[in-house]
A and B are shown apart, each in its own frame.
Chain A
Amino acid sequence: MGKADRMSAIATSGAQQPTASAASDTIVSFRGVQKTYDGESLVVKNLNLDIRRGEFLTMLGPSGSGKTTSLMMLAGFEVPTHGEIMFDGQSLRNTPPHKRNIGMVFQNYALFPHMTVEENVAFPLSVRRVPKHEQKDLARKALAMVKLEGKENRHPGQLSGGQQQRVALARALVFQPKLVLMDEPLGALDKQLREHMQIEIKHIHERLGVTIVYVTHDQSEALTMSDRIAVFNDGIIQQLDSPTGLYETPQNSFVAHFIGENNILNGEVTAVDGAFCKVRLNGGTEVTARAINIKGVGSRTSLSFRPEKVLIEGINADHPNQLPARVEETIYHGDHVRVRMTVAGSEGFTVKMRFRASRPIPVPGEEMAVAFAAEDCLALDPV
């Protein structure tokens, strides 16, 4: 028994290793890439991005932010207006899409309707002139990997959306590309299936050690699956970071707002002291915040707070960052209570409070104080 287990254990850890150790090993590199369709507006503005070998990188951003365009340039279906894309150290400029050896999964699957599931999966092998029996073998293995044994002779139209997605996945992986691109592959599935497939794709990634570039507009999907996330807005990468990095220290108001829940209070910087700064809120109260993205004393800033990091109970009178608040509404969620309040004159401030039967839920109209640690209050660019 031991040997096989050891082998698979080695294989697993080996696959995970590169993400950590070989950080310098870059597989894809966008260098100053720009793209315009109409010659007037840049859909992608100066994209610089290094993708590490074996990592799961997600391009996350609202619709129209240029994610698909970036992916299509990498796949070769769009040509950069300016700049260069390197793959394995070589420019892709003169490589047509069919020679790039990049697997791709489309949102609407793009399974060939006139072929059976097996023929679909064997297609990349057959265009590579792999011998027939080997094709069959590899296609069946790939289908087994996505748990679709027994469906080989069905046509795509006879499968459910989730099953079609698995076929598309098997087809993009069967020819063992070093890089697989996925453009909102789970967008058409219902929530439960989507969450299930997220985990499954993640596991396949870990097992094969293949590099995956994944596009989505769903932040929770990105947080669940990715090693790193590039947040896109307006054709620009706003921040490239690990999921925790993005959530804990968003570098600007867009990222703070786009990832997770966020409360904003506007104010003016009155003093800067190393990593921290003093901000006077519109109501006149002064608080201490982390100086992340400010322009210096006298500039406007937006303070960002996560709802679960704001205290509304057990506050000492001498807590440094305290603000007056009035409860407007409370919503019971079982494990926690969401309290919507007006804080320092600003409405719609949400606080997440762990529910305990011993402490009564605040009632609307109740006047109280909220407090927070300076580390949990980020001074970002003004919105």
Chain B
Amino acid sequence: MSVKQSRKARALNWADDRFGGAGILRTAMNKVFPDHWSFMLGEIALYSFVILLISGTYLSFFFVPSMTEIVYNGSYVPLKGVKMTEAYASTLDISFDVRGGLLMRQIHHWAALFFLIAMTVHMLRIFFTGAFRRPREVNWVIGSLLLILGIVEGFAGYGLPDDLLSGTGLRITEGIMLAIPVVGSWVSSLVFGGEFPGTEFIPRLYIVHVLLIPGIMLALIAVHVLLVAFHKHTQFPGPGRTEKNVVGYPLMPVYMAKAGGFFFIVFGVTVFMAAIATINPVWMFGPYVPNAVGAGSQPDWYMGFLDGSTRIMPAIEFTLINYTLSLNLLIPTLVLPGIMFTLLIFYPWIEAWATGDKREHHLLDRPRNAPTRTALGVMALTFYGILWISGGNDIIAVAFGLSINAITWTLRFGLFILPAIAFVITKRICLALQRRDRDKLLHGRETGQILRLPHGEFIEIHAPISEKEKAKILSKVDIEPLALPPATDRDGVAVPQSFRKRLQAKVSHFYFGDNVPKPSAAEIEAAEHHLQEIAENVEAPSH
């Protein structure tokens, strides 16, 4: 062969001759990704995870996961000569005697916070735009599992340095284990290798933190991302976007440059934060001793809602014959999050059942066009928000000079009342927006220009809306609530109505009953005609 190949071509050839896959590569490179700022939230989560892997691996070179007591003799003077575990001492060493160690610790911790924020907001985007619907339900479940694992992983990491704050967190964990009915004492004894705190727990927590959970998360993330590629990304409605296509930039080169570049941006910002903003200064808290506690200690933000639920739970404890059931711990720390995450995981099926909508969806909903879902989401967020605020009830009490008793009672009632109010308000707003969309289609948009008609009447000029906006509004899908099955059969004999069918019809009404339908084709045509006339009218007087 005399045809000279470029070096790049030769390398590709070499690889293809061994692994094949030119076809796959071609499909991959031509893959189209729609562009929208909210589609970057998942990317931030992914990149933060990568940053956690990199910084975590670095930390594991220096961190000693051991509860053996030693006397500190490093370069942080205030703690010289103090007895502490090797875990805490090595964290101090990372912070003061390994150059760049403090930076890496702070990168790791900031990345953990960003990771959980990004996952949470990403999930909200998916929820409010209906991106979890068929065929993407399984990816919604994987995402929910990742969120739960992320919370557990973050909490485990927070416990590793064995400083006063992390030890207090572990003590609370032990208390929660003890509250598990029947087996609680067993669970605690096995996990801690005997009594609390023992000497086994940190080495065990370490393996969970650096191997077990990250391993599971890595596998889940791989499947998650592959499924996104397989399903092709959803897109927002707009000109040229349909359920049957995907419009955006090809992977090579635009998306590659943007997504690749974005990784460096996220990484750069994380490092920058770690450079200037101190986080978890463990040297100020001192080593863990079971008889000391830092006043006003707060957990990382993602644990706040559990702290809050624990704080506002009334003191209910039962004795059953000879056994004790601590509902004051069981409900806020195990039952409540269990229910919350179960509802989260199964929401796609709950909605599909309630609405009877089992079709595929690739065009995203505008939140206003799914008012009940949007209102349910805001309701859940309000509930979560109040739990989260409850985690700071003492801070609020001090800041506003109120009694902690009054605040706690307000929050207890607020937890049930405010979400309901949030639901109603959100739904009203969505329906109002729907009405406005309908008006825009039928009467055009308001221009703010006032015109005096020949016979003296004043009108505001309405101009037709842009094609882009029209496509957006017309993407709305109007769904009729499911009808009740007929009460009698053809011969007029009463048919027993199944409870499930009736319930489903009710729920479906709840979802779609007050939908504001978009105008029909004929109405739009008439409206366009009318706008045309006005436009001519407007021009006429100037002659």
Q: Are these two chains actual partners, yes or no?
A: no
Name A residues whose Cβ lies closer than 8 Å to a Cβ of B: none
Taking beta carbons and an 8 Å cutoff, which residues of B are in contact with A?
A: none
